[in-house]
Amino acid sequence: MPRYALRIEYHGTPFAGWQRQRDQPSVQAAIETALARLEPRAHTIAAAGRTDAGVHALAQVAHCDLAREWDPYRLSEALNHHLKPQPVAIVAVARVADDWHARFSARERRYVFRLLMRRAPATHDRGLVWQVRHPLALAPMRAAARHLIGTHDFTTFRSSICQAQSPVKSLDTVELNAVDGPSGPEIRFDLRARSFLHNQVRSIVGSLERVGTGAWSPDDLRTALEARNRAACGPVCPPHGLYLAGVGYPDDPFAV
């Protein structure tokens, strides 16, 4: 059966997450239902990462096996037709080798988090940013983030229901940048790693926000990391500012 890689964009608000769940809408189920319209049977697709309820994606990657050969462009057009009106789009499709796997072939995941700083309620960006009503100091947040770079035991920043075999992860990049977003001043967080623990990004961003307010110092974040204790974590920020922004592979299947 020919295998296809799908690059997927979605608005996470109406979904209970990526993974198919009983009696709740999911992105996976939406795409599998669309595939069944093209080839009537049960379909199971695998993704590079399982985003939580309310988390968005700019470039999720999944793969599917189909019974016949499809032109990639025609497949993307057909899937997008059957996905309407759900906020899910197949941005690109590529034919891949039979042993290529969206999750296990991946070498990097990139997440972006948008934090909006303004007092007035967000309107156009509602559900797309985490809004705080106070300014944050960027320099100490950047200093604190440097303590997270490298290989560490991230138990402090790991959900209690995380199913990963080990809390040890290597965080390659944690960049913070001040930007003029469409709704006002934002801090954009860019995090890259081969893989992440459940709630790791939201836990890190929530703790860095404490540094930005002055409630924590940069060294307090290092102390929290070294505690290897979930109780030492700052508040976990909400999901709606988080985006799966990209997945890296040794050879980009979507390269022209």
User: pLDDT tens digits for 6-32?
Assistant: 999 999 999 999 999 989 999 999 999
Task: Enumerate the active-site residues.
Answer: 52
Give the distance from CA 86 to its chain's centroid: 19
User: What's residue 189's pLDDT?
Assistant: 98
Q: Which residues pair with 57 in a beta bridge?
A: 10, 244
Q: Tokens 């703790």 label which residue?
A: 207
Note whether 149 and 188 are within 8 A (CB).
no
Query: Does the structure show a pLDDT above 90 at 111?
Result: yes
Q: What is the reported pTM?
A: 0.96
Model confidence band, residue 137 (pLDDT cutoffs 50, 70, 90): very high
Quick check: helix, strand or coil at residue 151?
strand
User: pLDDT tens digits for 41-62?
Assistant: 999 999 999 999 999 999 999 9
Q: What is the mean pLDDT of the chain?
A: 97
User: What's residue 163's pLDDT?
Assistant: 87
DSSP conformational letter for 21: B
Give the distance from CA 109 to its chain's centroid: 8
Mean of pLDDT values over 206-220: 98
Domains, the chain, in order of start with CATH, read 3-105 (3.30.70.580), 108-246 (3.30.70.660)
User: pLDDT tens digits for 152-174?
Assistant: 999 999 998 888 999 999 999 99
Q: Measured between alpha carbons, how far is 158 from 110 in angstroms, rounded to an integer?
A: 17
